[in-house]
Amino acid sequence: MSSSLIPDESLARVGEVLAGPVTVTIDVREAQRYAYAVGDENPAYFDQAAAEAAGYRTLTVPPTFITHAIVPPRPAGEMRTDGLYRDGTGVRLEVSRMMFGGEEWDFLADVCAGDEITATTRLAALDQKEGSKGPFVRQVRETTYVNQDGTEVARSRQIGIAK
């Protein structure tokens, strides 16, 4: 049996809130900058009449934009050498590197410009598994997004495989 890659203190954190709740207002210009950066010129993001014809209350936003809308402003002094910000929400693991990741999203209700979205991220799962090349850790961080009416608009799961 291989030694554990997951310290007990990290296993005990499953279910814990890692970030949030944080509330942001969906900003139409940020969303449009994001859409253009993706190369997505969906008229429903830019044209009110097109958005309404598509059944949206007002301009809508790219589906996964909400995960970027909640990124907080951070001072430059909190950046690491690689450019990433020091992450206080990291879970300690006995691994060398991230192998690959993935995401799963459920989109439950429309998100529109001006909506107030509250996001909360939890450590949903932390498992050690045996692969063909040895043990690896699967970590799942789940974020729920709720709008100003208390309606859950989306759920995302970020999955990381590390060894």
Partner 1 sequence: MRTTNQITIQDVAVGDRLPVMPKAASEAQLFLYSAASFNPHRIHYDRAYAEFEGHADLLVHGPLQGSWLTQFLTDWAGPKGRLINVNWQNRASAYPNQQVEFHGTITAVDPSTGEVEIDVHEQTDDGQVLMPGTARVRLPLGEES
The nearest distance, CB 54 to partner 1, in angstroms, is 4
Look up residue 50 and give its amino acid: A
Q: How far is the CB of 81 from partner 1 (least distance, A)?
A: 8
Q: Tell me which residues touch partner 1 (CB under 8 A).
A: 30, 33-34, 36-44, 50, 53-55, 62-65, 67-68, 71, 79, 82-85, 100-108, 110, 159
Nearer to partner 1, 62 or 113 (CB): 62
Closest CA to 141 of 127, 161, 123, 116: 123
Residue whose CB is less far from partner 1, 6 or 154: 154
CB 103 within 8 A of CB 63: no
Which of 138, 140, 136 has the alpha carbon at shortest distance from 122? 140
CB of 34 to partner 1, least distance (A): 4
Lookup: tokens for 143: 């974020």
- Which is closer to partner 1, CB of 34 or CB of 145? 34
Residue 8 or residue 80: which is nearer to partner 1 going by CB? 80
d(CA 55, CA 59): 10
Smallest distance, partner 1 to C-beta of residue 22, A: 14
How many CA atoms lie less than 13 Å away from 69 in the CB half-sphere?
Answer: 28
